Structure 1
């Protein structure tokens, strides 16, 4: 028996291209889900780094100013050093800009998900191809990919969509810990 989103021919058989479209739609839906999770995680990560940096600069600058006013010098030197280092890191790595970039990517992936959901059982090959092409264009805007974080998001999407646990990717503990910063060896993944 065909599912509600599959198209049947005059004899009640599922049309081959409709079945293929249905499978491709689920594949694209999964990829979009992983991409949304990934962008959301990195937006939160970079926002946190930016906020911590800003707070530390404010506290360090206030401490240095209070120490200078109080005629002390040892605390002022260290507080000033902290301010300089954190400001330099924030300027060099542009955490706020990266947070905004990933927030924008998350919204674009969400719009693609919405288009798939709105099409529902009336998804045509043409609409599918348009959404897939738009997905590729959004994906092209992604900066360097952190494959360990992608693997974590893949595993979350496997659970969210009710796929078998055998579809999950196995990661080492150090890969999970440092996933937001980069990918640590080994670089091959096992299910």
Structure 2
């Protein structure tokens, strides 16, 4: 068996309570907390930091679907400097550039900076630099979604993180009601 604890960054959660004491099986824990290393067996801990600038620039260009050139390397380097070589932020920025026809490497920081103040002032003052960078990159991508997709994502935030009944989506997909009228909370069901 394999048990994975991803983003185990809450100091109030004691992971040892969730790890079986069997001698067979494996556990993977990803966390930014340095104290989680104490749970690892000797020699089984891997520490990952930020990407090197060169790798971050390469990742950005790949995600943005851009060919390497001196001009593009310089622009990608400016973007990477803004995000501090955080892999997820750089990847998100690249994906945004690659999927947004009106956004180029040259225009990305302009897009980002226009929204940055608004985004960062949206009740996120308590976040550290990494989280602010991630939130900003996510918000910029989120705003490119259609209003219906944004509403769906916002609605899904109220669902349990893992125990989401598939029936919610199958019934919604089968429902032929009006999208602009009042919501029928008891749509007809077919057996």
Q: TM-score, normalised to structure 2's length?
A: 0.22
Bigger proportion of residues as helix:
1
Q: Which has the higher strand share?
A: 2
Report the structure number with the largest CA radius of gyration: 1
TM-score calculated relative to the size of structure 1: 0.22
Considering Cα pairs closer than 8 Å and 6+ residues apart, tell me whether 1 or 2 has the greater RCO: 1
